[in-house]
Structure 1
Amino acid sequence: MTTSTAMPSLNSLQTLQTSFSVDVATAHGRALNVPLLAPFTIANSKLDSARNVAIRVELVNGCVGWGEAPVLPFVTAEDQPTALAAAADACQFLVQNPPMLLGSVLAEMSRFLPGHGFASVRAGVEMALIDAVAKSIGVPLWRLFGGALDTITTNITIPIVSPSEAAELAAKYYKQGFSTLKLKVGKNLESDIEVLKAIRVAHPTCAFILDANEGYTANEAVEVLEKLHLMGVTPVLFEQPVHRDDWEGLRHVTHVAKEKYGVSVAADESCRSLQDAQKIIQGNLANVINIKLAKLGVLGALDIIELSRNAGIGLMIGGMVETRLGMGFAGHLAAGLGCFSFIDLDTAILLADDPVVGGYEVSGANYKFTEASGQGVFLRWDGGS
């Protein structure tokens, strides 16, 4: 990864919240539907397309910001119709508001779209506003977030498929330069083990992340680790092994995984608020917290990142099934902060179409962020920017 000297604090997001006045000229939301290359099956759902909401905000100075509100069954509270309705209301609210400081606008959005129930739409609106402000001052988002890095490396995900399909995908991703594979598990323990064996043959040098998406009981999660141990396989991370509300199960798996097998456990679905993060940290319920903007909003995510860093807990960044709008914003944040041990920002690679123009440069598993202001992207939106 390339390091970079951070921009002066004059251009930090925190400073701009108290110094930059936002005056919104127009704001719109619309459906963003993109098919997947292949069906994407996880323990609790199956998708054949991303059905998200794109948000476009234009300031009176002519700068346009873009955001994405991804919706994923069983994870986000919103579905696409409710997200579209909430985005329309939020956009109308932005246009009707008088000019106000960025921090005040973002605070108004937190009140207008509160909690986890509107987190995805709130994240999309926050992305668009922050992107527009960054473009207004001519600063790339990764610098706005701190400028720690200009390059990140992502893993890539293999959904729940047959062993032969998994092996084929692993071989393909090996050739493309991916050294870490994230494997969706949790639907059938025996099938999961067979898939892991097949992948191990196809890509023997890869590092593994297991993601059960709440699919196992605590005992099943420990059994998986024991069987992998007997195979000589140690995952680098075990993500959300049990149901989001099974706090004791999460604590048990975390303790056994670390003490017996040397495996860290990440909380994903179990961490949907600052209060959840505090509970996880105070109770030693997980070793890592997975940050997803659609679960928390941008500002909510930044609060949990700060809390986690201060507590010494590991950080992962991921997403739902998103285009390069959502993935790119999260990538800028990850690069700018430079504090994530695990980066899972791959879903744009799994889509059959790319509706986004510009943005980060992709080379296998590596994303390079440029000096273009904001995200440096626009969506193909009626043929214009």
Structure 2
Amino acid sequence: MGSIGFSSLFSSPKVYKSPSAKSNLGLMERLSVDIHRAEGRKLNVPLLAPFTIATSKVEGVENVGIRVELKNGCCGWGEAPILPFVTAEDQTTALRKAAEACHFLNNTQAPMPLGHLLREIAQLLPGHHFASVRAGVEMALIDAVATSIGTPLWRFFGGVSNTITTDITIPIVSPTEAAQLASKYYKQGFKTLKLKVGKDLNADIQVLKAIRVAHPHCLFILDANEGYTSSEAIQVLEKLHEMEVTPILFEQPVHRDDWEGLGHVTRIAKTKYDVSVAADESCRSLADVREIVKRQLADVINIKLAKLGVLGALEIIDFAKASGLDLMIGGMVETRLAMGFAAHLAAGLGGFKYIDLDTPLLLAEDPVYEGYEVSGPTYKFTNARGHGGFLHWDNIACR
């Protein structure tokens, strides 16, 4: 790898004070990256139980792992998550596009600035349509560079904190199953439950009642994944109000393209019930966030690397903060590679009011070795270089 000369930057107080997307992008412009090998492979992992949301049902993780090795021997890891009806790519498409990106990286002839390399990847994998693969490649490149300069990712992104505390998700299940999960998570120390709703309004209310009995003091996030009409979403809030339950957040209550409905629910939720509304599927680009701010359509933006890419997420984070919106960070159904990267980013930057990075806890296996430490809802990051975790690459190839 070429000379990078970055150690002084990471010992400077300026890196840790008021971190922002702009400061991180500036750092990336000064790094020189020398690629030895890049490769993408299937990353398949079973779930403990089927994961059902309003728009899809997932039996297991079928993602794409990305490995980037530098000429100095340092490796970086990324993951392109695949979630039907949410991400634009399926696994076959993601593997093909990852191969194209890796072919480009493998044919770079000389060290290149990281920022320049990331812009080339953005041109090769543009927009929302290839955002998940782009995010996986960006993760691997950034992780490789952070590893090369001996810096953990949470410090690379600003060093605000080395821990995060996540909620945990209850998918669409029966009231009995929901109560059992709520009781289990209560014993594990989770204080915030994120409930998948939006498929059947009456069934959702029954599930909420059952959870309330099993975990009476939990905080609620409702996530409809576009499943309600605006009138149904308001009806849910009315029913909860009658139960004396106030969710701390109502995520994506209506279809992604129903801007009027989103704004209507946001206004009613805030003024009548003091509930914040988050835009998730409705926020797939900086242009979307600008429209949300202009028309006051939501209170919170859910940042997901798989729908925005890493650089796209950093731009939106800065804009949302400057516009007075609160931030949430979430993910698709991912292993500790992608979730760990997002968690490092959130901890390092700080300023995220809602943390939803729980899906590795829902997997039947953990393919990631080492990495962050887990204690119930708390993730703690060590001073290990980069992500701190890795895959046994040959084992992944056999799946």
The reply to whether TM is greater than 0.5 is: yes
2:170 and 2:15 map into 1 onto residues whose CA distance is 42
User: Counterpart in 2 of 1:23?
Assistant: 34
* Alignment partner of 1:290 is 2:302: yes
**What aligned pairs does 1:304-343 form with structure 2 within 5 A after superposition?**
304-343=316-355
* Deviation for aligned residue 1:23: 1.0
TM-score (normalised: structure 1)? 0.97
Match of 2:378 in 1: 366
In structure 1, what is the equivalent of residue 268 of structure 2?
256
- Alignment counterpart, residue 126 of structure 1, candidates 121, 138, 143: 138
Provide the rounded CA distance (Å) in 1 between the counterparts of 2:274 and 2:245.
11
Corresponding position: 1:177 with 2:189: yes
CA distance in 2, matches of 1:13, 1:63: 21
Whether contact under 8 Å (1:7, 1:144) holds in the other structure is no
**Residue pairs, 1:208-287, within 5 angstroms:** 208-287=220-299
CA displacement at 1:16 relative to structure 2: 3.3
Asked if 1:158 corresponds to 2:170, the answer is yes
**Structure 1 residue 79: Cα displacement:** 0.4
> Secondary structure of the equivalent of 2:126?
coil
Paired letter, 1:194: Q
AA partner of residue 129 (structure 2): G
The 5 Å alignment of 1:366-385 reads 366-382=378-394
Deviation at residue 13 of structure 1 after TM alignment? 3.6
Q: In 1, distance between residues paired with 2:395 and 2:151?
A: 25
The 1:226/1:107 distance shift into structure 2, 3 A limit, reads same
SS at match of 2:36: strand
In the TM superposition, residue 118 of structure 1 has moved relative to its aligned partner by 0.5
Q: Which amino acid aligns with 1:340?
A: F
| Pair 1:86 & 2:100 matched | no
Contact 1:215-1:243 within 8 A present in 2 as well: yes
Contact 2:15 2:158 (8 Å CA) reproduced: no
CA contact (8 A) 2:81 2:332 kept: yes
Within 2, Cα distance between the matches of 1:358 and 1:42? 30
Matches within 5 A, 1:26-37: 26-37=37-48
Kept after mapping to 2: 8 A contact 1:21/1:101: yes
Using the alignment, how far apart are the partners of 1:214 and 1:208 within structure 2? 18
The CA deviation at 1:382 is 1.3
- Following TM superposition, by how much is the alpha carbon of 1:7 offset from its aligned partner in structure 2, in angstroms? 4.8
1:65 is matched with which residue: 60, 76, 82?
76
Deviations 1:321-369 (A, max 9, x none): 0000000000000000111000000000000000000111000000001
Q: Secondary structure at the match of 2:30?
A: coil
Corresponding residue for residue 4 of structure 2: none
Letter in 1 for 2:375: S
Give the 4+ runs in structure 1 shifted more than 4 A. 9-12
1:345 equivalent in alignment to 2:357: yes
C-alpha distance in structure 2 between counterparts of 1:32 and 1:10, whole Å: 34
What SS does the corresponding residue of 1:382 show, helix, strand or coil? helix
Q: Secondary structure at the match of 1:72?
A: coil
Of all paired residues, the percent bearing the same amino acid is 70
Give SS of 2:266's match. Answer: helix
The gaps in structure 2 that reach 5 residues or longer are 1-9, 17-22
From 165, 175, 179, give the equivalent of 1:167.
179
- Aligned-partner SS, 1:81: helix
The Cα shift of 1:136 comes to 0.6
Structure 2: distance between partners of 1:297 and 1:345: 16
Seen in structure 2, the aligned counterparts of structure 1 residues 60 and 174 have a Cα distance that, compared at 3 Å, is same
Q: Distance in 2 between matches of 1:152 and 1:212?
A: 24
Unaligned runs of 5+ in 1: 1-5
Structure 1 residue 14, shift from structure 2 partner: 3.0
Structure 1 residues 364, 239: closer, same or farther in 2, change over 3 A? same
Distance 1:50 1:314 in 2: 30
How far does residue 74 in structure 1 lie from its aligned partner after superposition?
1.1
Greater CA drift, 12-21 or 201-210: 12-21
Q: Is the 8 A contact 1:7 1:143 kept in 2?
A: no
Q: Residues 262 and 237 (structure 1 numbering): CA distance in 2 closer, same or farther, change over 3 Å? A: same
Tell me the amino acid that sits aligned with residue 254 of structure 2.
V
Report the 3-state secondary structure (helix = DSSP H, G, I; strand = E; otherwise coil) of the residue aligned with 1:182: strand
2 CA distance for matches of 1:63 and 1:16?
19
